[in-house]
Amino acid sequence: MDGVVILGGGQGGFQAAASLRQEGYAGPVRLVSDEPGLPYQRPPLSKAYLKDGDAARLALRPEAFFAASAIELVHDRATALLRETREVALASGAVLAYDHLILAPGARNARPPLPGLDAPGVLGLRTLADAQALRAALPATVEDGARAVVIGGGFIGLEFAAVARAFGCAVTVVEAAPRLMARAVSPETSARFRGKHESLGVDLALGVPVAEVLTDAAGRACGVGLADGREIPAGLVLLAAGVRPNVELAQAAGLEVADGIAADAQLLTSDPAISALGDACSFPDPRTGARVRLESVQAATDHARAVARRLAGRPEPYAALPWFWSDQADWKLQIAGLPPRGESAADVHDLPRGGFAVRRWEGDALVCVETVNAPAEHMAARRLLAAGGVSRVALAAQEGSLARLAKSG
């Protein structure tokens, strides 16, 4: 028996290995990781880790867990999928045979074609190594009285900006779209976060793309030039302009790719001996049937659990409700559901116990709830959306309270 090989030892790959054991899978489980050390969580890299530098807290499980669970960690890089012989070729020259292969290679930072982007002083934030470099660069930037410029006003760029301000660093966030986190949140939530970041002292340049990274005589990044001609000097440039799924190995092996590695409602790829999960895969949204690719801990871990259950002999279609969080200064943003498609309405509620909620509708159906510092409202929204949704009439009958509606069910 060759067992299961998992390509990628990140959030989803690790969870697949752990869940296989929890589900009683008894065959060999090998987890191939091209990053050093134990599998770790990425979310703190742009939050607590930047502040405390405590890498030990990032590990998803201690080393002893892997031995005790008979999960073999293979530190190597997969270089080819040999589907005919059901093998994975590794950079070391070794070959791993599998009965089933789980593709969990995640995503990498998108690199827009900007002059100067490869210069020293331009950093990314995807891996622990990236976060270590950023953590080392930040105090020096503050000491020099220099500015940090962030390319991209999405979650990671804004989380970094809030931490950098807490270090006393001058920060400018440049975002090509006219509003912050435009892909993921409503205009109403964007507007409130704009106010929050301005109150923290973050300078925002919205609706204008970065045209180039400026370099000094030594070839080091020293700022950015914007498409409108403005130049912003900086001691540190963070590239946070989104990610691209790692689909190349799957594509080269002839698997179907559609934004990510294409998976079906069971998270199987076009090869029934191969599953895909996490940031790297696209799959049919159980609520709309539309193909989606999500970049979240929730998707990676719920995908992994669903794949493990199937491999342990208990298949069921993937049905989990998407949810997400982001911490920016003292604001915890939580999102339940996916943004509405097409024309939609949203209403904003300042909640009696603090925080606010933005409810997003598709016609008469509630599809997404964004909350800030309102965990009870978030949990109520998750419960209701997972149970099949909420209509305006049902909510009105509970005087607009999601919490009451959730309790009444």
- The closest alpha carbon to 366, from 340, 387, 343, 404, belongs to 340
Which one of the spans 101-109, 134-142, 203-211, 376-384 is the region binding ligand FAD (CB under 6 A)? 101-109
- Residue 279 pairs in a beta bridge with none
Place of tokens 């890299």: 45
User: 11, 189, 190, 215: which one contacts ligand FAD (CB under 6 A)?
Assistant: 11
Report the nearest approach of ligand FAD to the CB of residue 229 (Å): 31
Asked whether the beta carbons of 29 and 311 are under 8 A apart, the reply is: no
- CA dihedral (155, 156, 161, 164) in degrees, to 10, reads 140
322 is a contact residue toward ligand FAD (CB under 6 A): no
Rounded to a whole number of angstroms, the minimum distance from the CB of residue 238 to ligand FAD is 11
Which of 136, 198, 206 has the alpha carbon at shortest distance from 161? 198
Report yes or no: 90 and 96 within 8 Å, Cβ to Cβ. Answer: yes
Q: Which of 25, 38, 86, 106 binds ligand FAD (CB under 6 A)?
A: 106
The DSSP bridge partners found for residue 204 are 173
The one among 105, 223, 235, 322 contacting ligand FAD by CB under 6 A: 105
77 lies in the binding site for ligand FAD (CB under 6 A):
yes
Q: How far apart are CA 151 and CA 210, in angstroms?
A: 7
Distance of closest approach, residue 7 Cβ to ligand FAD, in angstroms: 6
Stretch that binds ligand FAD, among 21-29, 43-51, 195-203, 336-344 (CB under 6 A): 43-51
- In this chain, which residue has its C-beta nearest to ligand FAD? 10
Three-state SS for 313?
coil
Q: How far apart are CA 332 and CA 352, in angstroms?
A: 17
DSSP category for residue 268 = B
Of 43 and 121, nearer to ligand FAD (C-beta) is 43
Stretch of residues binding ligand FAD (CB under 6 A), selected from 10-18, 92-100, 141-149, 166-174: 10-18
Per-residue binder mask for ligand FAD (CB under 6 A), 170-209, x = binder: ----------------------------------------
- In this complex, which beta carbon is closest to ligand FAD, that of residue 78 or of residue 402? 78
Site residues (CB under 6 A) for ligand FAD, limited to 293-312: 295-298, 300
Minimum Å gap between C-beta 196 and ligand FAD is 16
Query: Tokens representing 244?
Result: 């691209």
The reply on whether position 328 binds ligand FAD by CB under 6 A is no
What angle separates helix 155-166 from helix 187-200, to the nearest 10 degrees?
Answer: 20
- 232-271 positions binding ligand FAD, by CB under 6 A: 246, 249
Reduce the DSSP state of residue 264 to 3 states and report it: coil
- From residue 209, give the alpha-carbon distance in Å to each of 27, 178, 187, 206: 51, 10, 19, 8
In whole angstroms, how close is the CB of 401 to ligand FAD at the nearest point?
27
Q: By CB under 6 A, what part of segment 119-148 binds ligand FAD?
A: 125-126
3-state SS class at 407:
helix
Q: Is the dihedral of CA 46, 166, 326, 258 positive or negative?
A: negative
Residues at the interface with ligand FAD (CB under 6 A): 7-13, 32-35, 42-43, 45-46, 77-78, 104-106, 125-126, 156, 246, 249, 278-280, 295-298, 300, 324-326
